[in-house]
Amino acid sequence: MAKIFNVSGACEPGRHYMVALKPRLKEIRAMIDAGEYFTMNKARQYGKTTILRALTDFLKRDYIVVSMDFQRIGASKYKTENIFSATFARDFIKKAEAGNQLEAEVLMPLKKVLEEQENRIELYELFSCLTEICAKAGKPVVLIIDEVDSASNNQVFLDFLAQLRACYLDRDTTPTFWSVILAGVYDIRNIRQKIRSDAEHKMNSPWNIAAKFQVDMSFSAQEIAGMLKEYEADYHTGMDIEKISQMIYAYTSGYPYLVSCLCKNMDEEVAGTEKFPDKSCAWTQAGFIEAVKLLINDNNTLFQSLTGKLVDYPELKNVVYELLFTGRPIPYVPQNQYIDIAAMFGFIKNEKGTAVIANRIFESVLYNLFISEEFAASRMYDAGVQERNQFIVGGHLDVKRVLEKFVETFDYLYGDADEIFLEDAGRRYFMLFLKPIINGVGNSYVESETRNHERMDIVIDYRGEQSIIEMKVWRGNAYNERGEEQLSGYLDYFHLKKGYMLSFNFNKKKEIGVKEIALGDKVLIEAVV
């Protein structure tokens, strides 16, 4: 059976194209060998379940691994300590017996308690039996619990964690699990916040014995290339593996689900279409851009979860808005609750001490979301809708004409607005104007390396062609000339000879309009509003 790129559930080496997991397994194994208890917190669909399943097999020679999934435990099982303890005991026995990891005699204490005291067993009795099992197991016992998010809002689960902590602290005298791994999106501190609102309980987590988990779960460009080599050996598309893997990484920052989605789109959705009749055509830069467009326009469960968090956490929405539109640098301070939450859900990452949107795909999805919320009331968006047909010439996007019309429309609608208003809203208005023009055919994103309060470079992908527009706040001629030089260098990076600059100038004597400037072997189209 042919392998596929998997975006549904855990990946299996025999069925799915995958990056090599062994380097990560070795890193996690080192933590387990050291007897550490830790939490594997990553955003949704980040490959946690896949790595945990592979880890179980990776450890089985030297450890007894009992891998449980709290997603299987319904909310009713957390109502009382007795119900939870009995449910945990039954599931533990089932998983421990799988593959004959533990003999029936070793599990007998727990089975006996269940048989004789099922309606009375509580955490004390449960952990007394688990201690006896660990003492008789013959090998160190590793406990893995996936989807601990399912225990959210349950005090019983926190009491369970407290028991694990007590066993950890007493393990020099009392047998217990050698290592414990809890996996999920929420870390234990955030679960506790959802249960208790007072300050004391916000800060005091029963999981404060956990070691820091620093294994990088994202895929590198080299790892993506390794996966594509396996695919290429099967299909012989003639793709430039290094180029395609670099593009995939540039757009996803190695987010596992997004990597697989783009590959799956090229393989199954793009290939076989009129424009890309076979796989050789699909695994090209143009085919990749088409795959990006399909992904951004997909209402998948990851994007639903991402945007849903903005409703659940209004302050998080404000943070994301600032990052997207104003260019104001936000320090990456994990002690800040909303920075911590944004990182936990995968919205942002730490780039040299500054919070930035995690990847270009998320950025495009979030831009679309924020802009869509303004469609109905935005005169700038309406202008883009009314004028959009004039900007496509022979199937190509006429960016110069886009800028000319934007300058004209912006000056008419907002020419008398105050400087503070325009500085905050100018870039957003351009993106509102651009959206209906490229909608359904192209997409755009902002380069994180150039995002700041004074400068922001937007990259437009339209039918496989890229255009670079530097949006900046006018700070005088000297600053503008430096901007031209920076844009010229950026064009070299994209192998382009034409670039665009949009300046928001608050000088009352400014001369609005669009002009062409020759800069070496390049042409710069400069627009001033």
Indicate whether 277 and 385 sit together in one domain.
no
Alpha-carbon span 504 to 419, nearest angstrom? 9
- Show the domain range for 438: 374-529
89 and 44 inside one domain: yes
Number of domains in the chain: 3
What is the predicted pLDDT for the residue at 199?
42
Residues 147 and 244 in one domain: no
Residue 168 belongs to a domain: yes
Same domain, 170 and 289: no
Tokens of 10: 């855990």
- Give the pLDDT confidence of 248-273 residue by residue, as tens digits: 999 999 999 999 999 999 999 999 99
301 within some domain = no
Of 49-63, 153-167, 345-359, 464-478, the poorest mean pLDDT is in 464-478
Same domain, 100 and 168: yes
Query: Mind listing the pLDDT tens digit for each residue in 4-47?
Result: 999 998 999 999 999 999 999 999 999 999 999 999 988 989 99
**In angstroms, rounded to a whole number, what is the distance separating the alpha carbons of residues 77 and 433?**
52
CB atoms within 10 A of CB 201: 13
At residue 419, does pLDDT exceed 70? no
Pairing of strands 396-397, 392-393: antiparallel
Q: Is the pLDDT of residue 243 over 60?
A: yes
pLDDT tens figures, 383-404: 878 877 889 888 899 999 999 9
Are residue 190 and residue 259 in the same domain, yes or no?
no
Domain contains 449: yes
Same domain, 156 and 248: no
Q: DSSP per residue over 392-458, as a string?
A: EETTEE-HHHHHHHHHHHHHHHHTTS-HHHHHHHHHHHHHHHHHHHHTTTEEEEE-GGG-SSSEEEE
Q: Are residues 171 and 237 in the same domain?
A: no
Phi first, then psi: what are they for 349, rounded to 5°? Answer: -140, 165
Q: Which residues of 107-129 are buried (b: 16+ CB within 10 A; e: fewer)?
A: bebbeebbeeeeeebbbebbbeb
Contact 499, 470 (CB under 8 A): yes
Q: What is the pLDDT of residue 202?
A: 44
Q: For residue 479, what pLDDT band results from cuts at 50, 70 and 90?
A: low
Three-state DSSP at 105 gives helix
Residue 94 shares a structural domain with residue 229: no
Q: How confident is the model at residue 201 (pLDDT cuts 50, 70, 90)?
A: very low
Residues 395-424, mean pLDDT to the nearest whole number: 82
Q: What is the mean pLDDT of the chain?
A: 87
Do 163 and 234 fall within a single domain?
Answer: no
